[in-house]
Structures are given as structure tokens and as C-alpha cells.
């Protein structure tokens, strides 16, 4: 079946053909990580919709909205190869009218960890995701674990607002050298990339420990070894449901998350760890 490109609500209504619908929200610049999301959706659904929309609401005033990669023709080819049924590619003015006033608040959970460094970011994420849910009306949606706090907040929104949508999390896809795939990786120079590998090294080293104190200390030491070229925003060990920092006597699953700037490029990464196992 030919790939359908929908630009607005009416196009989406015409494209819907019944059965289970899966949505894969993206901002484009599709890579192997996105392909993994699409493949997971393909297994579960009769119809797969991929949205491609660079959402201005989730970028701060000093962030990289204007230079965020926009590769629509290449993205369409990826979608064809992965047998996507519909690509939803709205214009910003169609998503957000000139008199928009109402947004979704991410609450306290949206103001910690990543949210502390990007005020309002998660409000913008949840607002666009809710709009996509309302427009596409999927039965399920697939998001990457690489954006772990985003995934947790979307699950929280679905639960708090009683949305009839199943949220699936897909594992982080990595380059052979361990760097988590990201659309922003293309901005890294060869030297930047070597520095950036400290993120995944730190997470692996931390995950090999058993207690919160050991995990934090070990991961921080690896980051410190990278030197001043790695400008670390945070290293956080948090509850995966709330993203609150865990105590030293915490037991169970936790997320070890890191964010840092390498050159002019800001990267995030995380791993799930088990603390104080019996």
C-alpha cells in the first residue's frame, strides 16, 4: 500500500482504515532508533502512523530549534522502507493557532532532573503529544526509553487524564561504540564524539555497582575523567515512576540518567539499574 502523507485533521480521517492504530511521534531526522520504534509498532498494529513535527513549544529561547535537523525527504524514504502507512506532517500554524492559550502542565515531575535545566520543556512535550493523540486517535503509541523522563511523564499524563491509549517503551538503540543514537549526533566532530563516549561509559560503570552510593560515585568518576570538554549538567539516580532522587537505602529498579554538553551539542542518556538486590 502506498505511503500516505497527511497534513491535517481531514487527511488523517481519510487515511484511517480501521483496525488497531499505532502512533510513533517523532521530530524527524529519523535514524535506526526511530526504525526500532516503528518496527515495534508494526508488530502490534494494523496501521502505523508516524508523526514528523519539530515542536517549537519544547525548545527554550537559547536552544537549537532553528538548527534542529529537518530531513523530510529522507524521513519519507525511511518510512517507506519500514512499511509505515501514514506520515502525519503538519505545519506549526496548523498545530498551534495564533491565539493558543491552554497547555498541559507536567507538574512537579516536569521540573526536576532534565526539567530543571530546560524549564517548560516537558509542558511543551506533553502539550504536543496530547494534541497528536487527539488528532490521530491511536490505540497505542511507542516512545524510546532514551528519553526516559519524557516516557515516564507521558505515562503519567495518560493515567491522570484517563486517556484510552497504551504506551509502549522501546529500548535505547546505540552505535557500535556505545553512543546512544540521537538526531543531534550529526553535530559532533570526531573529537566531540570521543568525549561524548564518556556518557555511556559512565552509565555502564555505574550500572555494574549495587548500591546508590557506589553507582553515583563510580559514574561520576568516569565523567570527571573526561575533563573540561565534557560539560555535565547532571548525573541523577532516580525513581523511574517519579524521577525523584532515590535514597541510599532504596531498593528496586532505578534510572541512572546523565546530560552533558559536548562542544555545542547537548546529549542525554540513561540506563535502568537494580539497587540492593537480594
Residues 6+ apart with CB under 8 A from 183: 27, 28, 29, 31, 68, 69
Is 147 labeled as ligand-binding? Answer: yes
Higher pLDDT, 51 or 278: 51
C-alpha cell at 149: 523522563
Active-site residue among 34, 89, 111, 266?
34
250 burial via Cβ count (<10 Å: 0-12, 13-18, 19+)? middle
159 burial via Cβ count (<10 Å: 0-12, 13-18, 19+)? exposed
Is 103 labeled as ligand-binding? Answer: no
Is 30 labeled as ligand-binding? Answer: yes
Distance CA 276, CA 250 (A): 7
Dihedral of CA atoms 65, 24, 256, 198 in degrees, nearest 10, equals -60
Contact 166, 40 (CB under 8 A): no
Phi/psi-derived region of residue 226, left when phi > 0, alpha when psi is between -120 and 50, beta in every other case: alpha
Distance CA 51, CA 89 (A): 6
Distance CA 70, CA 27 (A): 8
Predicted confidence at residue 277, as pLDDT, reads: 67
Residue pLDDT, tens place only, 125-175 = 999 999 999 999 999 999 999 999 999 999 999 999 999 999 999 999 999
Predicted confidence at residue 278, as pLDDT, reads: 58
Distance CA 119, CA 58 (A): 9
Least confident of 7-11, 39-43, 266-270: 7-11
Residue pLDDT, tens place only, 176-235 = 999 999 999 999 999 999 999 999 999 999 999 989 999 999 999 999 999 999 999 999
Return the DSSP state at 245: B
Contact 235, 219 (CB under 8 A): yes
pLDDT band at 246 (very low <50, low <70, confident <90, very high): very high
Is 32 labeled as ligand-binding? Answer: yes
pLDDT band at 67 (very low <50, low <70, confident <90, very high): confident
3-state helix, strand, coil in the chain (%, to 5): 40, 20, 35
| Cα radius of gyration rounded to whole Å, the chain | 19
Higher pLDDT, 66 or 240: 240
Query: Residue 48 pLDDT > 90, yes or no?
Result: yes
pLDDT band at 25 (very low <50, low <70, confident <90, very high): very high
Contact 205, 225 (CB under 8 A): no
- In this prediction, residues 235-240 reach a mean pLDDT of 98
Is 93 labeled as ligand-binding? Answer: no
Which residue segments constitute the domains of the chain, with CATH numbers given?
4-170 (3.40.50.620), 185-269 (3.30.1300.10)
pLDDT band at 33 (very low <50, low <70, confident <90, very high): very high
Is 33 labeled as ligand-binding? Answer: yes
Helix (H, G, I), strand (E, B) or coil at 96: coil
Is 262 labeled as ligand-binding? Answer: no
Check if 34 is active-site.
yes
Distance CA 30, CA 11 (A): 22
Residue pLDDT, tens place only, 75-117 = 999 999 999 999 999 999 999 988 889 999 999 999 999 999 9
Distance CA 9, CA 15 (A): 10
- How many whole angstroms from its chain centre is CA 135? 20
Query: Residue 276 pLDDT > 80, yes or no?
Result: no
pLDDT band at 50 (very low <50, low <70, confident <90, very high): very high
Predicted confidence at residue 241, as pLDDT, reads: 94
Distance CA 108, CA 35 (A): 32
Query: Residue 64 pLDDT > 90, yes or no?
Result: no
Amino acid at each position: 500500500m502506498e505511503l500516505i502523507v497527511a497534513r491535517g485533521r481531514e487527511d488523517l480521517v481519510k487515511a484511517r482504515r480501521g483496525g488497531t492504530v499505532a502512533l510513533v511521534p517523532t521530530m524527524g531526522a529519523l535514524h535506526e532508533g526511530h526504525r526500532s520504534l516503528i518496527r515495534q509498532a508494526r508488530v502490534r498494529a494494523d496501521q502505523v502512523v508516524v508523526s514528523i513535527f519539530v515542536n517549537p513549544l519544547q525548545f527554550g529561547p537559547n536552544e537549537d530549534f532553528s538548527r534542529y535537523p529537518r530531513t523530510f525527504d529522507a524521513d519519507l524514504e525511511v518510512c517507506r522502507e519500514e512499511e509505515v502507512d501514514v506520515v502525519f506532517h503538519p505545519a506549526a500554524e496548523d498545530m498551534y493557532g495564533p491565539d493558543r492559550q491552554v497547555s498541559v502542565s507536567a507538574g512537579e515531575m516536569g521540573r526536576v532532573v532534565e526539567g530543571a535545566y530546560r524549564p517548560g520543556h516537558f509542558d511543551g512535550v506533553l502539550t504536543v503529544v496530547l494534541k497528536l493523540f487527539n488528532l490521530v486517535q491511536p490505540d497505542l503509541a511507542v516512545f524510546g526509553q532514551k528519553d526516559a523522563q519524557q516516557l515516564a511523564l507521558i505515562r503519567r499524563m495518560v493515567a491522570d487524564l484517563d486517556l484510552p491509549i497504551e504506551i509502549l517503551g522501546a529500548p535505547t538503540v546505540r552505535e557500535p561504540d556505545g553512543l546512544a543514537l540521537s538526531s543531534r549526533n550529526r553535530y559532533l566532530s570526531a573529537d566531540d564524539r570521543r568525549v561524548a563516549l564518556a556518557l555511556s561509559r559512565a552509565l555502564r560503570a555505574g550500572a555494574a555497582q549495587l548500591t546508590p552510593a557506589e553507582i553515583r560515585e563510580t559514574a561520576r568518576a568516569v565523567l570527571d575523567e573526561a575533563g573540561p570538554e565534557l560539560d555535565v549538567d547532571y548525573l541523577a539516580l532516580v525513581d523511574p515512576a517519579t524521577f525523584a532522587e532515590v535514597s541510599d537505602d532504596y531498593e528496586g529498579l532505578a534510572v541512572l540518567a546523565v546530560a552533558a554538553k559536548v562542544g555545542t551539542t547537548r546529549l542525554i542518556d540513561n540506563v535502568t539499574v537494580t539497587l540492593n538486590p537480594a
